[in-house]
Amino acid sequence: MKALIASMICMMFFDAAPTAARDIRQEEVRFNRGEYSTTIKDQIKGYQAVDYRLLAKAGQSLDVTFKPGNLSAYFNILPPGSNDVAMFVGSTSGYHFERVLPGDGVYTIRVYLMRSAARRNESSDFTLTISVRGKALTPLPSSVDATLPGTPYHASARIPCVPFMAAKGQECEVFIIRRGFDGTATVEVRSAAGAKRLILFVEGKPVASDSQGAMTSTRQSDLTTVNFANEERYEIPDALIAGD
């Protein structure tokens, strides 16, 4: 069953054609002073793609609306540090994205044609409306909560986990950026295979992530277990996100 799901996920990510086969143009998204949104009109053809790169912060809300001239044109959203794995895939989720962001960094809005249309060298005009709203959740300064030397992280540990598409439970390395002493923090989980997951906690509750799938959680004593589709699971103690 997991093999079937993995195959379906690979098709979902890569029916747009592997990144290496794409001619990807990069554009930086900036807003005019005092504004929080912008509208972009552009065009792609064949195996061309455009990466619209946008700096945003944890706790802010990103809203993207896509209007293509060709129904084979879509957009994906990649979280900071990702080259291929998306937190939103337009070909399965549609033309609109709105979500609270789990971490700080550059989010990439990748516009592309599906592989079948790219192979026929089709083209598409499109309009992309992007907005970022809400107050960022600022990391605690190192003068208030000491960071690990040479990093932005306030703490690290190993936790029980079942990473994305893992066959069984294991230990993952977790890094914490605290944004308050009330349990507000970005949790960055790294598996032994290199998979990464970002989860934003606000006042001790997980509220956002970089997963495509829905997030649920359960509480037991001082431990929060965060669950995603396909049995992905992370066990996060309160002490890590709130500090001692």
**What pLDDT, on a 0 to 100 scale, did the predictor assign at position 3?**
37
Q: Does residue 120 sit in the same domain as residue 49? A: yes
Summarize the confidence of residues 5-22 as an average pLDDT: 49
Average pLDDT over residues 97-123: 97
Asked if 96 and 168 sit in the same domain, the reply is no
Residues 47 and 105 placed together within one structural domain of the fold: yes
Q: Is 90 a residue whose pLDDT tops 60?
A: yes
Average pLDDT, the chain: 91
Last residue of a domain, one of 103, 133, 163: 133
Give the pLDDT score at 9. 43
Q: Judge if 109 and 218 occupy the same domain.
A: no
As a whole number, mean pLDDT of residues 83-87 equals 93
- Answer yes or no: do 103 and 182 share one domain: no
Same domain, 18 and 69: yes
Residue-level pLDDT at 21: 64
Has residue 7 got a pLDDT over 80? Answer: no
**pLDDT tens-place string over residues 187-200:** 999 998 888 999 99
Q: C-alpha distances in angstroms, 149 versus 154, 186, 188, 191, 242?
A: 9, 18, 17, 22, 19
Percent of the chain whose pLDDT exceeds 70: 91
Asked if pLDDT for residue 44 goes beyond 80, the answer is yes
Identify the CA nearest to 197 among candidates 77, 56, 85, 61. 85
In this structure, the answer to whether residues 165 and 128 fall within a common structural domain is no
Interacting residues of 109 by C-beta distance below 8 A, sequence separation 6+: 29, 51, 52, 53, 54, 64, 75, 76, 77, 128, 130
Per-residue pLDDT at 4: 34
pLDDT of residue 158 exceeding 90: yes
Q: How many domains does the chain have?
A: 2
Q: Is residue 138 part of a domain?
A: no
Dihedral sign, CA of 238, 166, 228, 131? positive
Residue 144 and residue 153 in contact, taking contact as beta carbons nearer than 8 Å: no
Buried/exposed code over 136-146 (b: 16+ C-beta within 10 A; e: otherwise)? ebebbeeeebe
Query: Which domain CATH number covers 109?
Result: 2.60.120.380
Tokens, residue 98: 């709105």
Give how far Cα 47 sits from Cα of 22, 126, 207, Å.
Answer: 5, 15, 36
Domain hosting residue 65, numbered range: 2-133
**Confidence at residue 230, expressed as pLDDT on a 0 to 100 scale:** 73
140 within some domain: no
Domain-located, residue 65: yes
Q: Is the distance from CB of 37 to CB of 158 less than 8 angstroms?
A: no
Domain boundary residue, one of 73, 102, 133: 133
User: Has residue 147 been placed in a domain?
Assistant: no
Among 127-131, 132-136, 164-168, 222-226, name the one with the lowest average pLDDT. Answer: 164-168
- For residue 59, give the 3-state DSSP assignment: coil
Q: Is residue 193 part of a domain?
A: yes
Closest residue by Cα to residue 101 from 125, 66, 137, 67: 137
Residue 170 shares a structural domain with residue 212: yes
Looking at the fold, whether 82 and 115 belong to one and the same domain comes out as yes
Whether 148 is covered by a domain: the verdict is no
The CA dihedral of 232, 112, 56, 204, to the nearest 10 degrees, is -20
117 and 12 belong to one structural domain: yes
pLDDT band at residue 229 under the 50/70/90 scheme: confident
The pLDDT, as a whole number, for residue 165 is 76
Does 159 reside within a domain? yes
Looking at residue 19, its pLDDT comes to: 63
Are both 12 and 124 inside the same structural domain?
yes
**Interval 162-180: pLDDT, tens:** 988 777 789 999 999 999 9
Q: Is residue 96 part of a domain?
A: yes
Q: Does residue 166 share a domain with residue 74?
A: no
Question: What is the per-residue pLDDT for 166?
Answer: 76
